[in-house]
Amino acid sequence: MWTLRHFIPQTLKYKLFLAFLLVILLPIIVLNMTHVQKFETLMKEQVSSQNLEQMTTITSSLGNLLSVAEKTFTLIEQDSFITAILKHPEAGLTYSFVQQKLKVEEKFNAINNSVFIANSYVYYTVLDTKELVYTSYWPNRILNYSGLAAMPRIQDAFQGKSLSKWQLEEGGASSEFGIQPSLLTMYKVLRDENNRIYAVVRIGVDYQSWLRSAIPSPANEELYALASSEGEIYARSTTSNALELPSPMNTQGWEPIGSKVENDHIISYSKIPDLNWYLIKRIPTKYLFHKVNQLQQSYMLTTLIIAALFIVMTFLISTTITRPLQLLQKKMSDVVKRNLKIQLPEQSYKGEILTFVQAFNNMVRDVESLLNRLKEEERNKEAMRFQMLLSQMNPHFLLNTLNTVKWLAIEMGNKQIPEVCESLGKLLEAGMRLDVDLIHLEYEIELAQRYVSIQKLRYDREFEVVITLDPELRYALVPKLSLQPLIENSIYHGFAKIDRAGRIEIRVHQEGNELVIEVEDNGAGLEKTNSSASPGNGIALKNLEERLALLFRKQGSISVESVPTGTLVRIRTLCLLSPPYLKGESLHVDGSLG
């Protein structure tokens, strides 16, 4: 079964090559593609934002045009000359019918010129009740009043119905109004002082011409269009078939303003509220990202060239490394065969390989030295084990002997000897337990008291031992036989040169998470003791210090200091409480004495 290990090269040369591909080349390509994609997305967002700003301005322009065109009706309504002719167009007045029509048309043009400074896209058509038609443009055919008056919207207007919304009316050669372009139209009525309608005014806006003039010069196949909310196209900025938009477009789900990417085009749209139409702009993405694609291709070509050069350099460098390593590998095989009895010639190598050879030679020497030391330690361990097994026979013999002496003394009626034998037996028994390092504090104090009782009998003198102990700390764990050497130092060195009664105070208390044991005597003091100390003095303290370091690491310490009336020894250890549990009718602690 194939695993990932089968695809990993086994030689250093190809491992370096694979590492270059995975660690350097592949991340560079991925980062390049990621950055290009982010740049394209950023450009799309920026183009969409610019398009939407531009289209918002254009739609506002159309809204303003429609609003102004509607307001020009007020100028017509307030023009006394126009209203007079429309109310009373009878012949025989100051002007003939032809002159009246020309004067009205001149008024229309004057209104357009005064309101629309640039090109005017607004056309007026007026029908009065005298079967006369007036226009602001030159119709391409003779207008038929009857045909116009029969149109539904004009009839509705004469009947007074509200027609104040803009609507689309088709133009062309067959248009009744004689005008070519399709217009957005609105109908207004003129009323006399009796509120009677005497004329209907048709206001038309040429939205197609406005669209072509309102948009900037299209470039790179940009296309603008006006479409209904259902997607039907009403006007385009160009007549080229190559830039055709589907009609109807899918406008479902469109917001009032937005942008989307569709079929390699960015389509931006903005809604015209007055008409419920959309102004649409479409830009091909190929023109937007043409330079980006060129930059990407140039960057990829440069990356491939650099990668090829780096691959060649990788093989050259790896060859200079692997060739000496192959020689070293052969020498290492010889080292194994000759049991480390070989050294590599350092003068044959240079640079980093020389450092490697020197490290290898040092390693061979260190390994050889370590093996020799391990062999020696193994021999010492065997000897120590033999001595330990041999030494375990002596304590058992002593305990049995002490027990015999104890009973002989009891039979003889001596009370001191049995007590001494029992105390000494307890001390020997505690020392024999090599598997126990920590015991309860109360048991350690008991061993210390038994040692004191033996010393009192030996020296035939009185010295007082005062113990201050918090009952809650009696089950604290302390090193076995840690108080005995301290009491021994006080008796041997502290009380040897004083005439007063000796006093030893043992104080135990807790400070935070530490257990503090203090042994203070009123002996000769530290300075006098050191001046007369024998070479063997201090071994017990040194032994105790090493035991504390082994058991508690840095959390165990011992210190000795002088006090005004003697010497104070202070032991600090980690406070470990181990209350016993009830087993049968006795209290026990696993792995501890007592």
Q: Judge whether 490 and 537 are in contact, CB under 8 Å.
A: no
Q: Judge whether 74 and 114 are in contact, CB under 8 Å.
A: no
Of residues 580, 562, 578, the one with CA closest to residue 570: 562
Pairwise pLDDT comparison (103 vs 151), residue with the higher score: 151
Q: Are residues 533 and 553 in the same domain?
A: yes
Among 138-147, 405-414, 517-526, which stretch is predicted with the lowest mean pLDDT? 405-414
- The pLDDT, as a whole number, for residue 464 is 85
- The pLDDT, as a whole number, for residue 222 is 79
Residue 352 pLDDT level (bands cut at 50, 70, 90): low
Q: Are residues 199 and 94 in the same domain?
A: yes
Q: Please identify, among 243, 261, 288, the residue that sits at the C-terminal boundary of a domain.
A: 288
Residue 309 lies in a domain: yes
- The pLDDT, as a whole number, for residue 573 is 92
Of residues 221, 187, 203, the one with CA closest to residue 121: 203
State the CB neighbour count (10 A cutoff) for residue 516: 16
- Joined together, the tokens standing for residue 56 give 């918002």
What is the spatial distance between Cα 135 and Cα 104, in angstroms, rounded to a whole number? 8
Q: Are residues 264 and 296 in the same domain?
A: no
Q: Are residues 371 and 264 in the same domain?
A: no
Of residues 515, 497, 499, the one with CA closest to residue 507: 515
One-letter identity of residue 275: L
State the CB neighbour count (10 A cutoff) for residue 132: 17
CA atoms within 13 A on the CB side of 270: 18
- Runs of H (alpha helix) within 185-337: 207-214, 285-288, 290-337
Q: Are residues 105 and 39 in the same domain?
A: no
Q: Judge whether 207 and 62 are in contact, CB under 8 Å.
A: yes
SS3 assignment for 25-77: HHHHHHHHHHHHHHHHHHHHHHHHHHHHHHHHHHHHHHHHHHHHHHHHHHHHH
What is the spatial distance between Cα 136 and Cα 366, in angstroms, rounded to a whole number? 113
Pairwise pLDDT comparison (321 vs 258), residue with the higher score: 258
- The pLDDT, as a whole number, for residue 369 is 82
Q: Collapse the DSSP code of 206 into the 3-class scheme (helix H, G, I; strand E, B; otherwise coil) and give the result.
A: coil
What is the spatial distance between Cα 495 and Cα 458, in angstroms, rounded to a whole number? 14
Residue 188 lies in a domain: yes
As a whole-number percent, the residues of the chain with pLDDT over 90 amount to: 9
Residue 445 lies in a domain: no
Of residues 112, 123, 239, the one with CA closest to residue 181: 123
Q: Are residues 536 and 579 in the same domain?
A: yes
Q: Please identify, among 387, 416, 449, the residue that sits at the C-terminal boundary of a domain.
A: 387
Of residues 506, 521, 402, the one with CA closest to residue 447: 506
Residue 402 lies in a domain: no
Pairwise pLDDT comparison (151 vs 304), residue with the higher score: 151
Q: Are residues 37 and 121 in the same domain?
A: no
- The pLDDT, as a whole number, for residue 282 is 85
What is the CATH classification number for the domain harbouring 229?
Answer: 3.30.450
Pairwise pLDDT comparison (104 vs 3), residue with the higher score: 104
Asked whether residue 474 carries a pLDDT value surpassing 70, the answer given is yes
Q: Judge whether 418 and 410 are in contact, CB under 8 Å.
A: yes
- The pLDDT, as a whole number, for residue 76 is 86
Residue 426 lies in a domain: no
- The pLDDT, as a whole number, for residue 360 is 76
What is the spatial distance between Cα 460 and Cα 99, in angstroms, rounded to a whole number? 160
Q: Are residues 474 and 568 in the same domain?
A: yes
Cβ neighbors of 581 (< 8 A, separation 6 or more) are 587, 588, 589
Q: Are residues 185 and 86 in the same domain?
A: yes
Q: Are residues 260 and 333 in the same domain?
A: no
Q: Please identify, among 268, 288, 308, the residue that sits at the C-terminal boundary of a domain.
A: 288
Number of domains, the chain: 4
Cβ neighbors of 321 (< 8 A, separation 6 or more) are 12, 353
> What's the whole-number average pLDDT of the chain?
78
- Runs of H (alpha helix) within 79-184: 80-87, 97-115, 145-149, 152-158
Residue 395 pLDDT level (bands cut at 50, 70, 90): low
Pairwise pLDDT comparison (253 vs 324), residue with the higher score: 253
Residue labelled with tokens 């006007």: 235
- Runs of H (alpha helix) within 88-232: 97-115, 145-149, 152-158, 207-214
State the CB neighbour count (10 A cutoff) for residue 311: 15
Q: Which long-range contacts (CB under 8 A, 24 or more apart) does 43-47 make?
A: 43/288, 43/289, 43/292, 44/261, 44/266, 44/285, 44/288, 47/266, 47/283, 47/288
What is the CATH classification number for the domain harbouring 537?
Answer: 3.30.565.10
Between strands 463-469 and 502-511, the pairing is: parallel
Which of the 8 DSSP states describes residue 347?
A: G
What is the spatial distance between Cα 302 and Cα 135, in angstroms, rounded to a whole number? 69
- The pLDDT, as a whole number, for residue 187 is 92
Of residues 530, 326, 573, 357, the one with CA closest to residue 444: 573
Residue 92 lies in a domain: yes
Residue 243 lies in a domain: yes
- For 558, phi then psi, to 5°, come to -140, 140
State the CB neighbour count (10 A cutoff) for residue 66: 21
Which of the 8 DSSP states describes residue 492?
A: I
Number of DSSP helices (H) and strands (E) in the chain, helices first: 16, 19
Residue 394 pLDDT level (bands cut at 50, 70, 90): low
Q: Which helix (H) or strand (E) holds 197?
A: strand 197-205
What is the CATH classification number for the domain harbouring 200?
Answer: 3.30.450.20
Q: Are residues 128 and 221 in the same domain?
A: no
Residue 582 pLDDT level (bands cut at 50, 70, 90): low
How large is the angle between the packed helices 351-391 and 393-412, nearest 10 degrees? 30
What is the spatial distance between Cα 135 and Cα 123, in angstroms, rounded to a whole number? 8
Q: Are residues 87 and 183 in the same domain?
A: yes
pLDDT digits (tens, 9 = 90+) for 142-191: 888 898 999 999 999 999 887 778 888 888 878 888 888 889 999 999 99
Q: Which helix (H) or strand (E) holds 228?
A: strand 223-228
Asked if omega into 256 is within 30° of 0 (cis), the reply is no
Task: Give the mean pLDDT of 453-475.
Answer: 82
Asked whether residue 48 carries a pLDDT value surpassing 60, the answer given is yes
Residue 69 lies in a domain: no
Between strands 514-521 and 566-574, the pairing is: antiparallel
What is the spatial distance between Cα 510 and Cα 251, in angstroms, rounded to a whole number? 84
- CA-based Rg of the chain, rounded to a whole angstrom? 58
Q: Which domain holds residue 376?
A: 292-387
Of residues 235, 229, 278, 287, the one with CA closest to residue 258: 278
pLDDT digits (tens, 9 = 90+) for 359-372: 878 887 787 788 78
Q: Judge whether 186 and 70 are in contact, CB under 8 Å.
A: yes
